[in-house]
Structure 1
Amino acid sequence: MRQMIRQGIKKIGATEYVRSAIVEEADLSAFREKPSPAILAGIFAITFSFALGWPAVALCGLLSLKLQNPWIAAVGGPLVYGLSHLVFMLGMYLSGATYSLIFLRWFTRVSMERLLDWADQ
């Protein structure tokens, strides 16, 4: 199982988007200018949507098991995931496509560098 995960990470790491983000050392230098409150709210919403996504769905599943109520996972999981998608879209709208793409490219580089280091061990 662990080997399959490592192979999957390496396969994702070989994609053009990830390779270019790593090679070009994507950073957040575009954020050196003082951002507007709307841009800050958008970046916060994008970051918050990541925490709302699969971690919150997994939490619904665990809560469902603990309380022995499958409806928590059956209804709560999709609702929470849908909410995270809406929050992400709000963040994209508020921060604008340019800042959103810069942030996601940086996030991809940082996370994939760490995952690829782990996969190569």
Structure 2
Amino acid sequence: MIRKTTALAAAFLVAGAFTASAQTTGDWVLGNYKGAGYWFPGIIDKIADGKVTIRYDDGDKETVAMGNVRPYNWAIGTKVECNFKGKGDWYSGTISSLAGEKIGINYDDGDKETTRTGRCRSN
């Protein structure tokens, strides 16, 4: 019974993570930068009139509709794309470690890197 209850609770939490919206200034979120379909991490600077202003981890800032923001849900094992060594090209990989904005990536081609969340995105 405990195992079943734990599994249901975990499923509820995961489902809720994808449907909840940003609530508070200072929340770490993922924003759909310029509506391009990629989700970048950042902090909410302001919420007003159904819009959210995000200060992205790479330094960019953008005001978007509430629907273009979702809770930060990256964890070890999450698939992401990162700008390898900051050279401009995006490569697929899996998060291997997280410590605030410091993120470890195991790239699909076998390379590894420790970088910053501002150089990564998810889809």
TM range (shorter): under 0.3
Query: Which structure features the higher share of strand residues?
Result: 2
Larger relative contact order (C-alpha < 8 A, sep ≥ 6)? 1
Q: TM-score, structure 1 length as denominator?
A: 0.26
Q: TM-score, structure 2 length as denominator?
A: 0.26
Larger Rg: 1
